[in-house]
Homo-oligomer: A and B are copies of this chain.
Amino acid sequence: MGLDDGARSPHDRLARALSDDMAAVNALIRARMSSEHAPRIPEVTAHLVEAGGKRLRPLLTLAAARLCGYRGDHHIRLAATVEFIHTATLLHDDVVDESHRRRGRPTANLLWDNKSSVLVGDYLFARSFQLMTETGSMAVLSILSDAAAMIAEGEVLQLTAAQNLSTGEETYLRVVRGKTAALFAAAAEVGGVIAGAPAAQVAALRTYGDALGIAFQMVDDLLDYGGTSETIGKNTGDDFRERKVTLPVIRALARADVDERAFWVRVIEKGQQTEGDFVAARALMVRHGALEATRAAALHWSDTARAALADLPDDPLRGMLDDLAGFVVARVA
């Protein structure tokens, strides 16, 4: 590792330490996203895959496998598998959320159509199951098919919880685990399983991935209201417009007086939003410490992730995973 590593993000350092593995993963993704007969499939997939996602989930799989001393090549298949599952869910999410931009580019549903996003997503799901089947590990198949079910269940739960102010923190956490943490947890866990790591290490990897995913999503939900800083940044307000009941809303609502409650009913339940409502919503969150509380919750889950690493072998990769758990909350710390 170079002298400038201190200046790099933990994510970049992980990608660098695992660069050979990651190159193999990228080659496998390119090979398997192809379709001899339906060129629409690689077109749509490439639009998303090559838009420069962070590849965080495959890096977790690779790091977990290497950290547990794995010397084979199935971790490459598993890393490609989790990226395919992730890409498939992004394609379907953009249809469900009627999104127009993703990773700074127009979404596939906008460039092609919803039909292509639905069907290419299905294709990538199927490809992911082909890939994981090639590892020959039933334990891995069980973990990843469970994760896929949990992801879909979380997304449906989010759909029915949106616009519903009776959504509590328990339901919120279940949605977050489904939409984000389930795949982080499975990505890390299968790396340990394929390496034949002891049960305690596998459990530690799962706990790490789960907590990292929850922290990651809570930071996202917080930043959608501009974070705790005074200035509201870019890319805010999507959740508010989509009337999602995230932790900042839940916490602000818990302390709302009669007038404030009427405000939340109007903007979230009835969806009657006018200019200035987003700023007003944020002001209520600040007044009741809802953004600070969300920040504290994210930091708590980041700490949980770091603590889980104690059960894993002492190795530079473990240090990077530790730093990564700090990095995902650094934007709000």
Which A81-122 residues have C-beta < 8 A from chain B?
Answer: 89, 92, 95-96, 114-116, 118-122
Task: Tell me whether A159 is interfacial, beta carbon within 8 Å.
Answer: yes
The residue on B at minimum CB distance from A144 is B129
Any B CB within 8 A of the CB of A142: yes
Q: Of A35-43, A195-203, A229-237, A243-251, which stretch is located at the interface?
A: A35-43
A109 → chain B, closest Cβ, in Å?
Answer: 11
Within 8 A of B (CB), among A116-148: 116, 118-123, 125-127, 129-130, 133, 136, 138, 141-142, 145-146, 148
Task: Given A37-B174, A133-B145, A148-B129, verify A159-B123 contact (CB < 8 Å).
Answer: no
Which has the most chain B C-beta neighbours within 10 Å: A41, A126, A148, A151? A126
Residue in B38, B122, B145 whose beta carbon sits within 8 Å of that of A160 in the complex: B38
A221 interfacial contact with B, CB 8 Å: no
Q: How far is the CB of A112 from chain B (nearest CB, A)?
A: 9
Q: A157 interface residue, CB < 8 Å from B?
A: yes
Q: How far is the CA of A153 from the CA of B146 in the complex (A)?
A: 24
A160 to B141, CA, bound (A): 32
Q: When chains A and B are docked, how far (Å) is the Cα of A138 from the Cα of B293?
A: 47
Which residue of the partner chain, among B95, B123, B148, B156, contacts A152 with CB atoms under 8 Å? Answer: B123
Docked pose: A118 CA to B89 CA in angstroms: 10
Asked if A155 is at the interface (CB within 8 A of a chain B CB), the reply is yes
Q: A96-B118, A119-B92, A145-B133 are in contact. Are A159 and B40 (CB under 8 A)?
A: yes
A38-B157, A96-B119, A119-B159 given. 9 additional CB < 8 A pairs?
A39-B160, A40-B160, A114-B114, A116-B156, A119-B155, A122-B148, A125-B125, A126-B151, A141-B141
B-binding residues in A (CB < 8 A): 35, 37-41, 89, 92, 95-96, 114-116, 118-123, 125-127, 129-130, 133, 136, 138, 141-142, 145-146, 148-149, 151-153, 155-157, 159-160, 171, 174
